């Protein structure tokens, strides 16, 4: 892909009167990404050829895994080539349709990237979005929730707990990044299933939120203890029956010292390790002893998971928390801040207000 012209172009699109704004990968980051690894460009809104539709993004999900898609390995380059838009999950409205299955006004959820408008054939991506474009049902909740609790985040929590950890009442579940998007839902689902819940997060203020608002029995500020393994032991005196691992690395090692003999682990993510891979994609530190949970392994059963989550929401037993960044131009600083622990709940970007819904 050739290097795009940066800066604002004078012409606007005939169809919408809007410009096409995108975050592009300018170089593969070494370690922790910096703003200069990316560029934000503006050009003409594309028009969909026959069989495709034009989607106007309303919400963009910021996700830790996106860091991996900025590496130079073949699979990542396919998702996010240099000077291609960054991969990202969006909720948007169809504003032009030449697609037989979608109409103008439909609200869809698909992996369409960090951009204000995207052309879609509705087929998704074979690894990261195998179910393709999903029509969002606005009667289930605000459409933004299709990017989290009524989307991949909620499904991750449902299947990793209900299918993989299979909690028994009274067991202790230890949850890392307990104040994050996945973690905040995992804490509540574990409480719904009568577990003793211990959360880990990075500040005292987030710890208070995890116990007082989310309902965990205890929370540990992992940055403020001399010996994390001992702190976990004190909060989980019967041992850790289930470890909900969102970070890997040293936190997972400390958890590992407290597991019961028959403990179960779900390795949902390794957020502490994503920036430890070199730009060519080879890892410096990468746990290989435990298979990763992958929400798309369950995609044929997503309807079951969504129904269960929708019911918990309706009953008021499960609540979601949105941490909103305003404007696509602020998306990258919002992502960097999220990875530094700046979020509580699901970090989302409000890209635009809806026109059709």
Ligand X SMILES: NC(=O)c1ccc[n+]([C@@H]2O[C@H](COP(=O)([O-])OP(=O)(O)OC[C@H]3O[C@@H](n4cnc5c(N)ncnc54)[C@H](OP(=O)(O)O)[C@@H]3O)[C@@H](O)[C@H]2O)c1
* Site for ligand X, rule CB under 6 A: 63-65, 152-153, 156, 177, 179-183, 201-202, 206, 246-247, 251, 268-272, 292-295, 338-339, 341, 343, 347
> What's the min distance (Å) between Cβ of 210 and ligand X?
9
**Between 96 and 150, CB nearer to ligand X:** 150
**Between 144 and 201, CB nearer to ligand X:** 201
What are the start-end ranges of the E strands in 193-344? 196-201, 218-221, 240-245, 259-267, 322-326
- Do residues 95 and 116 touch, judged by C-beta distance below 8 A? no
> What's the min distance (Å) between Cβ of 262 and ligand X?
23
Q: How many alpha carbons fall within 13 Å on the CB side of residue 69?
A: 23
Q: How many alpha carbons fall within 13 Å on the CB side of residue 11?
A: 7
> What's the min distance (Å) between Cβ of 248 and ligand X?
8
Scan for tokens 């211990």, then name that residue.
198
> What's the min distance (Å) between Cβ of 266 and ligand X?
9
One-character DSSP codes across 250-277: HHHHHHHTTEEEEEEEEE---TTTGGGB
**Between 19 and 69, CB nearer to ligand X:** 69
Give per-residue burial for 167-179: e unless 16+ CB within 10 Å, then b: beeebbbbbbbbb
Residue 11, SS3 per DSSP: coil
> What's the min distance (Å) between Cβ of 49 and ligand X?
32
One-character DSSP codes across 28-66: PPSSS--GGGEEEEEEEPP---TT-EEEEEEEEE--GGG
d(CA 187, CA 178): 7
**Between 85 and 88, CB nearer to ligand X:** 88
**Between 39 and 252, CB nearer to ligand X:** 252
Residue 291, SS3 per DSSP: coil
> What's the min distance (Å) between Cβ of 185 and ligand X?
8
**Between 42 and 322, CB nearer to ligand X:** 322
From first CA to last CA, the distance across the chain in angstroms is: 35
**Between 48 and 64, CB nearer to ligand X:** 64
> What's the min distance (Å) between Cβ of 150 and ligand X?
14
């Amino acid at each position: 892909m050739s290097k795009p012209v940066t800066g604002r172009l004078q012409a606007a699109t005939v169809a919408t009167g809007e410009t096409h704004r995108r975050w592009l990968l300018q170089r593969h980051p070494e370690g922790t990404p910096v703003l200069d690894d990316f560029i934000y460009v503006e050009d003409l809104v594309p028009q969909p050829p026959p069989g495709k539709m034009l989607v106007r993004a309303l919400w963009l999900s910021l996700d830790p895994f996106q860091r991996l898609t900025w590496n130079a390995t073949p699979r990542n380059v396919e998702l996010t080539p240099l000077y291609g838009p960054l991969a990202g999950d969006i909720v948007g409205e169809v504003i032009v349709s030449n697609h037989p299955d979608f109409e103008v006004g439909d609200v869809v959820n698909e992996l369409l990237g960090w951009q204000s408008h995207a052309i879609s054939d509705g087929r998704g991506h074979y690894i990261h979005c195998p179910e393709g474009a999903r029509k969002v049902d606005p009667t289930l909740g605000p459409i933004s929730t299709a990017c989290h609790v009524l989307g991949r985040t909620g499904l991750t929590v449902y299947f990793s707990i209900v299918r993989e950890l299979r909690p028994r009442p009274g067991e202790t579940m230890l949850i890392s990044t307990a104040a994050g998007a996945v973690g905040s839902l995992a804490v509540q689902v574990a409480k719904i299933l009568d577990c003793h819940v211990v959360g880990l997060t990075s500040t005292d203020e987030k710890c208070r939120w995890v116990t007082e608002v989310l309902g965990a029995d205890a929370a540990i500020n992992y940055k403020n203890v001399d010996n994390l393994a001992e702190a976990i032991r004190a909060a989980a005196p019967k041992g850790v029956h289930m470890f909900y691992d969102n970070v890997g690395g040293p936190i997972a090692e400390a958890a590992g010292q407290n597991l019961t003999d028959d403990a179960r682990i779900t390795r949902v993510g390794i957020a502490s390790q994503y920036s430890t891979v070199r730009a060519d994609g080879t890892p410096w530190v990468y746990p290989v002893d435990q298979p990763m949970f992958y929400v798309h392994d369950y995609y044929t059963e997503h309807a079951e998971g969504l129904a269960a989550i929708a019911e918990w929401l309706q009953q008021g037993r499960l609540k979601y928390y949105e941490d909103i960044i305003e404007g696509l131009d602020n998306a990258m600083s919002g992502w960097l801040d999220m990875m530094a622990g700046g979020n509580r709940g699901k970090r989302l970007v409000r890209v635009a207000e809806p026109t059709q819904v």
